Amino acid sequence: MAAPDLLDPKSAAHFSKPRLSFSTKPVGLNFQEDEYDTRTTVMRWKTVSAIFFMVVLYLIIGALVFRALEQPHESSQKLAILAEKLDFLSVHVCVNSSELEDLVKQVVSAIRAGVNPSGNYSNQTSLWDLSSSFFFAGTVITTIGFGNISPHTEGGRIFCIIYALLGIPLFGFLLAGVGDQLGTIFGKGIAKVEKMIVKWKVSQTKIRVISTVIFILFGCLLFVTLPAVIFKHIEGWSTLESIYFVVITLTTIGFGDFVAGEKGGSEIEYLDYYKPVVWFYILVGLAYFAAVLSMIGDWFRVISKKTKEEVGEFRAHAAEWTANVSAEFKETRRRLSVDVYDKFQRAASIKRKLSSELGLNVTPRQDPMGRRTLSVNLGDEREAYPNLTLCLTPVPGTLARNGSIYLNGLSPDYADRREIEIAIEETPN
Amino acid sequence: MSSLSKSWILLVGLILFYVTYLMLGALVFSSIERPVEEQLKLDIETLRQEFLNQSCINDTSLDTFLVKVLEANKYGVSILRNSSLDSNWDLASSLFFANTLVTTVGYGHTTPLSDAGKAFSIFYALLGVPFTMLVLTACVQRLMYPLVYAPVGLVQRAGLTQRSATEVHFLVLTVVVVLSFFMVPAAVFNTLEDNWSFLDAVYFCFISLCTIGLGDYVPGEQAGQRLRPLYKISVMVYLFLGLLMMYLVLRAFHKLADLHGLTAMLQLPHCEEDEDEDKTPIVEAGPEDQQQADKAASKPLDPGSQLSYNSINR
């Protein structure tokens, strides 16, 4: 019969207590301290590389899904724009294709620089007026980096690098401070709620789960839903686009396809305080999102920790149990050997008596190798113990090293028992 | 002065300083960039006028056409002849996109067009960003030993105090990282990309590795790029390794600040790495290790925030 793999974490779930292996070959359960440590170190590398492969897998899955979702859309866009171009060229015959392409190239690079060539020249606001520059500086420091505005001069770029080098750690500290205060405020609120819930005699873990859920829901309401509604109203985006903007901004990804307050061409009249309010909201929202993301990270770690805990716990169990069993068997062996010795003595004395009385010659069967071998046959009682054949063979050298005992064929039903009844029969032959 | 009010004062001071910093930056950017922008506006206006003069197009039809072109271009679909062959969403580019999403760089040179794509991006990012942070933290914690503790120990054995040993080591580490992750890749990009100067390449490396990701420079986007998939994937690998090294440098800096008492002065949590903490950050043996590992798993770019979010969780 195959042995249940003691190192398999799945079997840990099945068996409440670790079982002895009942394979046909003897299994030594020895636990040495350094072996355990090396196993932990090996696990760590394995863990990191496992997680790394999972990330790569995650990326590949994402790539496949994105490709499946976006490529058809992109192809249709391409066809549409090509059709537009051909249409345009056919309608306006005095323009040839290369001229048009030149124009488009220039226009595109102008757009990249933030200048919109369509519409009237005069009433365009600059992309680098004070409030927009402020916003840009903010996107650099928070590492969101929308990219709808970006510096184009060499001086601007060099300054951007130096500015970011100093500003990002500064913002990090600020975020830490804001998050701290946010946490304190929220923690106080949660403490009050928890006090109420405790009255209902709910378990500690449930309380924690409830507070986490409240945190997420409340935060989502305050930092995601409400702003999304506001953005939808002011910017004219759809609901999905507003939520998309909020998530992409607050995780500091910051694509820049949707940017609040930066609609080119004065279609939307923004109130004066709109942009600073947006910036402030981004600051606090970033703190909230950092908390949420670290919580999600915690969950990942808890999941992997639980698995490892089970294995670790299981190993600890196994070690403890083995130590106990070895001690027990040592004790039993000692008692048995004393017992056996006594019985041999008695048998020998009986034999002597018999031989002296009857003149018989009974030679006790002696193990030729001179070891103390104890062989137990249960005889009539065998039906009650179907596969109980206990053979305790002290092998010289093994015991001295680690106290393990080789066992053969012990039925799993009796693994829990610490005391094993052994009846000794001497079969005269 | 109680510590609570002290922390509030510190926070307010920090906010004020931050706002001042932003204003300063805004002023400088404005003064540098604005004249260039004005010039570009003039140029594009003249171009437009020239185009209109020499042809039979009127203003409005050109406008509508341009709007459509620019709309398409915003999503990376170009009208130009020789770029129609490359897709922005073939496997390598999608992988690159997913990578920019997950590392929060977010260039924006390609963005999801469809609604489904946008919705998927939201969920993908919400799961992927902490996941990546976790991986990066785990890797950095492992790398701290051979790259930080061991050399510092060596330098210490050479006779310096712990303080100066960490200083020396940090300096050397920064120089090595700057050389190998900024200068060398910038030179490579300079050669590989047609119209990137060396400064542009350095700018790109810096903006990417800080995960700002403005998106004005993205490698592998020019038309007719040879071996485009391989190029994009190697850029991905470079970004990941670069991020790792940045976090490592940040952590080393945190330890340095610890030793010099800066973190205590600013009431920030200490770098929780101990010499004898020989445990994986994922397996905890007790509640105090749990705390430490919780700190370790939060956003590494904000070293100070590591303690605070535990208070939210609890």
- Candidates A121, A152, A103, A110; CA nearest to A265 is A121
- Candidates A71, A59, B198, B236; CA nearest to B228 is B236
pLDDT value of position A186: 73
List A residues 27-46 in contact with B (Cβ-Cβ < 8 A).
40, 43-45
Backbone φ and ψ of A375, nearest 5°: -115, 130
- Secondary structure string (H, E, C) spanning chain B: CCHHHHHHHHHHHHHHHHHHHHHHHHHHHHHHHHHHHHHHHHHHHHHHHHHHHCCCCCHHHHHHHHHHHHHHHHCCCCCCHHHCCCCCCCHHHHHHHHHHHHCCCCCCCCCCCCHHHHHHHHHHHHHHHHHHHHHHHHHHHHHHHHHHHHHHHHHHHCCCCHHHHHHHHHHHHHHHHHHHHHHHHHHHHHHHCCCCCHHHHHHHHHHHHCCCCCCCCCCCCCCCCCCHHHHHHHHHHHHHHHHHHHHHHHHHHHHHHHHCCHHHHCCCCCCCCCCCCCCCCCCCCCHHHHHHHHHHHCCCCCHHHHCHHHHHHC
Percent of chain B with pLDDT over 90: 6
Host H or E run for residue A392: strand A391-392
Cα separation of A257 and A76, whole Å? 19
pLDDT value of position A4: 38
pLDDT value of position A173: 74
Q: Cβ separation of A240 and B214 shorter than 8 Å?
A: no
CA of B254 vs chain A CAs: smallest distance (Å): 11
Asked if residue A149 lies in contact with residue A132, where contact means CB atoms within 8 angstroms, the answer is yes
Radius of gyration of chain A (CA): 39
Does the CB of A85 have a partner CB in chain B at under 8 Å?
yes
Report which of residues A297 and A237 the model is more confident about: A237
Burial of B303 (0-12, 13-18, 19+ CB in 10 A): buried
Does the CB of A71 have a partner CB in chain B at under 8 Å?
yes
- Candidates B220, B276, B25; CA nearest to A132 is B25
Return the residue of B nearest to A148 by Cα.
B214
What one-character-per-residue DSSP string does A369-380 give? T----EE---GG
Report which of residues A1 and A273 the model is more confident about: A273
Name the residue type at position B10.
L
Q: What is the largest CA-CA distance in chain A?
A: 139
CA of B196 vs chain A CAs: smallest distance (Å): 12
Does the CB of B274 have a partner CB in chain A at under 8 Å?
no
When pLDDT is averaged across residues A204-211 and rounded to a whole number, the result is 73
Cα separation of A82 and B78, whole Å? 9
Cα separation of A87 and A321, whole Å? 83
CB environment A219-250: b (16+ within 10 A), e (fewer) = beeebbbebbebbbebbebeeebbbbbbbbbb
pLDDT at A26 over 50: no
Q: Which of A118, A143, A208 sits opposite B212 (nearest CB)?
A: A143
Confidence class of residue A425 from pLDDT cuts 50, 70 and 90? Answer: very low
Q: Cβ separation of A180 and B307 shorter than 8 Å?
A: yes
Q: Cβ separation of B303 and A44 shorter than 8 Å?
A: no
Burial of B287 (0-12, 13-18, 19+ CB in 10 A): exposed
Q: Cβ separation of B15 and A174 shorter than 8 Å?
A: yes
Cα separation of B108 and B88, whole Å? 12
- Candidates A126, A288, A131, A160; CA nearest to B212 is A160
Confidence class of residue B288 from pLDDT cuts 50, 70 and 90? Answer: very low
Backbone φ and ψ of B75, nearest 5°: -95, 10
CA of B179 vs chain A CAs: smallest distance (Å): 16
Return the residue of B nearest to A44 by Cα.
B280
Long-range contacts of B117-120 (CB under 8 A, 24+ apart): B117/A66, B117/A69, B117/A70, B117/A73, B118/A240, B118/A241, B118/A244, B119/A240, B119/A244, B120/A65, B120/A66, B120/A69
Cα separation of B303 and B271, whole Å? 8
Does the CB of A300 have a partner CB in chain B at under 8 Å?
yes
CA of B20 vs chain A CAs: smallest distance (Å): 10
Q: Cβ separation of B127 and A172 shorter than 8 Å?
A: no
Partners of A168 on chain B (C-beta within 8 Å) are 210, 301
**Cα A11 from chain centre:** 21
Does the CB of A49 have a partner CB in chain B at under 8 Å?
no
Backbone φ and ψ of A391, nearest 5°: -125, 110
Q: Cβ separation of A69 and B30 shorter than 8 Å?
A: no
Tens digit of each residue's pLDDT (9 = 90 or more) over A155-169: 788 888 888 888 887
Partners of B116 on chain A (C-beta within 8 Å) are 69
When pLDDT is averaged across residues A100-120 and rounded to a whole number, the result is 70
CB environment B105-118: b (16+ within 10 A), e (fewer) = bbbbbbbbbeeebb
Confidence class of residue A39 from pLDDT cuts 50, 70 and 90? Answer: very low
Angle ∠(A26,A30,A32) on CA atoms, nearest 5: 155
Confidence class of residue B185 from pLDDT cuts 50, 70 and 90? Answer: very high
Report which of residues A277 and B55 the model is more confident about: A277
When pLDDT is averaged across residues B30-59 and rounded to a whole number, the result is 72
Asked if residue B171 lies in contact with residue B247, where contact means CB atoms within 8 angstroms, the answer is no
Tens digit of each residue's pLDDT (9 = 90 or more) over A64-78: 777 776 677 777 777
pTM attached to this predicted model: 0.64
Partners of A263 on chain B (C-beta within 8 Å) are none
List B residues 49-78 in contact with A (Cβ-Cβ < 8 A).
51, 54-57, 61, 63, 65-70, 72-78
Q: Which of B18, B61, B309 sits opposite A179 (nearest CB)?
A: B309
Cα separation of B180 and B245, whole Å? 10
Which tokens hold the place of B210? Answer: 């800080």
pLDDT at B211 over 50: yes
Report which of residues A326 and A46 the model is more confident about: A326
Site of tokens 């195959």? A2
Cα separation of A46 and B281, whole Å? 13
**What are the distances in angstroms from CA A255 to CA A229, A300, A350, B299?**
20, 26, 97, 20
pLDDT at B105 over 80: yes
CA of A259 vs chain B CAs: smallest distance (Å): 12
Q: pLDDT averaged over chain B?
A: 73
Q: What is the largest CA-CA distance in chain B?
A: 82
Does the CB of A341 have a partner CB in chain B at under 8 Å?
no
Asked if residue B140 lies in contact with residue B247, where contact means CB atoms within 8 angstroms, the answer is yes
pLDDT value of position B279: 41
CA of A183 vs chain B CAs: smallest distance (Å): 5
Q: Cβ separation of B34 and A128 shorter than 8 Å?
A: yes
Complex ipTM tops 0.90: no
Partners of B125 on chain A (C-beta within 8 Å) are 247-248, 251, 253
Q: Which residues pair with A374 in a beta bridge?
A: A392
CA of A295 vs chain B CAs: smallest distance (Å): 7
Return the residue of B nearest to A182 by Cα.
B312
List B residues 148-207 in contact with A (Cβ-Cβ < 8 A).
199-200, 202-203, 206-207
Does the CB of A239 have a partner CB in chain B at under 8 Å?
no
When pLDDT is averaged across residues A101-105 and rounded to a whole number, the result is 79
